[in-house]
Amino acid sequence: MHFNPYGGPAAQVAAALVNLGPAPASTLLATLRAAGMTFAEFSDDDAAVVNDWLPRLRQVFAEKDTDTLVDLVNRLLADSACKPYVSRHDGKPAHLHYASEHAGAALRVQAYTAGGLAHLVCEDPSRIGMCANDGCGVVFVDTSRNGRRRFCSTRCATRVHVADHRQRAASLSV
Ligand SMILES: [Zn+2]
Ligand SMILES: [Zn+2]
Q: Give pLDDT tens digits for 72-105.
A: 999 999 999 888 888 888 898 988 888 887 889 9
The mean pLDDT value of the chain amounts to 91
The pLDDT of residue 2 is above 60: no
| Alpha-helix residue ranges (DSSP H) falling in the chain | 8-20, 25-34, 44-62, 66-80, 105-123, 154-173
Q: From ligand 2's centre to the CA of 166, what distance in Å?
A: 19
Sign of the Cα pseudo-torsion (3, 96, 1, 49, in order): negative
Closest CA to 10 of 76, 88, 78, 79: 76
Q: From ligand 1's centre to the CA of 146, what distance in Å?
A: 30
Percent of the chain with pLDDT over 90: 67
Sign of the Cα pseudo-torsion (54, 19, 13, 60, in order): negative
Q: From ligand 2's centre to the CA of 142, what distance in Å?
A: 13
Closest CA to 105 of 150, 62, 51: 51
Question: What are the residues whose beta carbons fall under 8 Å from the beta carbon of 162, sequence distance 6 or more?
Answer: none
Q: So what's the pLDDT on residue 158?
A: 94
**Ligand that lies nearest to the alpha carbon of residue 132, given by its number in the listed order:** 2
Q: From ligand 2's centre to the CA of 16, what distance in Å?
A: 14
pLDDT in tens, 27-57: 999 999 998 888 989 999 999 999 999 999 9
Q: From ligand 2's centre to the CA of 132, what distance in Å?
A: 7
Q: From ligand 2's centre to the CA of 146, what distance in Å?
A: 19
**Ligand that lies nearest to the alpha carbon of residue 96, given by its number in the listed order:** 1
Percent of the chain with pLDDT over 70: 97
Predicted model pTM? 0.88
